[in-house]
Amino acid sequence: MSRNDRRSDRSQSRRHDSGRNERGGDRPQQRRADPRRLALGVLEEVDANDAYANLLLPARLADSGLEPRDRGFVTELVYGTLRWRALYDELISRAARRDASELDRRVRDILRLGAHQALHMRVPGHAAVNETVSLAKRTREAKAAGLINAVMRRLTERSLDEWVSVLQAELPADRYLSVRWSHPEWIVRALRKSLAADGRDGDLEALLAADNAAPAVNLVALPGVADRADIPGTTASPLSPFGAVLEHGDPLELCRRGVRVQDVGSQLAALALAAAPDGGDRPGASADDEGERWLDLCAGPGGKTALLAALAARHEPKAALRANEPVPHRADLVRRALEESGFGAVTVDQHDGATELGRVSGQWHRLLIDAPCTGLGALRRRPESRWRKQPTDLRDLTALQQRLLDAAVASARPGALIAYVTCSPHLAETRRQIDALLARQPGTLDVLDTAGILVEADAGLGPGAASGLGASDRPLVGSGAPGLQLWPHVHASDGMFVSVLRRR
């Protein structure tokens, strides 16, 4: 049963609860969950069992019996507490007069929830104290009620701005930014370097703040299948000609054949590959050739694949798309995305990416490599991920990215186009990766102007379809080659990097 079906069933149940049962008594209503206790349970699963909040929370809410307002309260509690964890742990340590890591895990999570209510939600200080102590008692932590009461009272003696002033005066610069904006220090330093390389030296705090803001929902209307003008309650994306932005409401109620939830950065990555010029004649074309062969190499979970399939179907002459995803459950998601969008005939393979490319050399006309990466560009969507990633992750990831790029070049036909994409702005995964590829393959590749491709493609779609991307208040400009870097604080997208290359 889908979430929409469950929502409909609950709605019908509420309408009939006011009636009487066969024996004349009141019909029992669905038991409603305790909002704060539900939020605590999700935090504990995320912390103890490496669960993902974006997967766990919707399932818990679906069975909670809570009204929409309470669901929103729980959602803000969970995501906000995860985002601001480092700030709250610093303040809890100061208020408890011992390191927060020394506290019992549940006590620490209860205090984090209380801190979020007091400092970032419109919950009065005294109410935040009382509710936090009450939650401790309801969750078998009554023995810690005195400690929790004392810590919460000290926390609420100052406003957030007052606490920030204290931290700024007492902490070294990078440590302050790490605590103030709740990012590990190594990520703060990496983002500073990435911004500087893109000509945005003064943007660091704006980016860190954007990572802690709940993003609007972006949807895509697959061209030739759906029309974004027919998606109710949305506004046209300022960047994607196929995109729509939903500020409020449930996106699942809008999803149907050809309409999917998809970040605008992913939409632009697919469009950049599809719209890139081949330098004249179609790459590798022959008189009896039926069309180009396209490959989405790292296709899971399938959003870009579905959009590429729609774009390939509109290509002249029509292109044939193939997808590859080595992880079985993600490959199933790709197949589902394609089937739901009307492209179930697209073949989805399950091979190691480099192995798949090495099977036949000189085969592909257009290749999308959405490479495995640190995901530092999606911290606003997956707030717990910042606490799980380590700088040591980069070694294996960049080695894999290099293998995929080298294999892509070997498998590409002369004149073929390769789009290298990461959901990360880290220089080791973006600019340096492309620079290293060009050094390894001298005279083999040309770097195309990705932003220019997108602006020209958008203008060529015609009135009513184009987004006005070239005149957007979020222009696709940066420091230029070797690719386009998107930023949450500038483009309201995930921090995606897109580099389009042409094989000579």
Catalytic positions, written as ranges = 423
CA–CA–CA angle 340, 341, 346 (5° rounding):
95
Residue type for 42, please? V
64: Cβ contacts below 8 Å, ≥ 6 apart: 32, 33, 38, 70, 71, 74
Query: Residue 493 — φ and ψ, nearest 5°?
Result: -130, 170
User: What's the token pair of residue 119?
Assistant: 């400092």
In a 3-state reduction of DSSP, which class is residue 455? helix
90, 164 contact by CB (below 8 A): no
3-state secondary structure 265-324: HHHHHHHHHHHCCCCCCCCCCCCCCCCCEEEECCCCCCHHHHHHHHHHHHCCCCCEEEEE
Tell me the C-alpha distance between 335 and 319, whole Å: 19
Half-sphere exposure (CA, 13 Å, Cβ side) for 137? 9
Nearest to 299 by CA among 263, 324, 329: 324
Residue 98, token pair as written in the block = 């011992």
Select from 366, 442, 448 the least CA-distant residue to 408: 366
Q: How far apart are CA 476 and CA 57, in angstroms?
A: 34
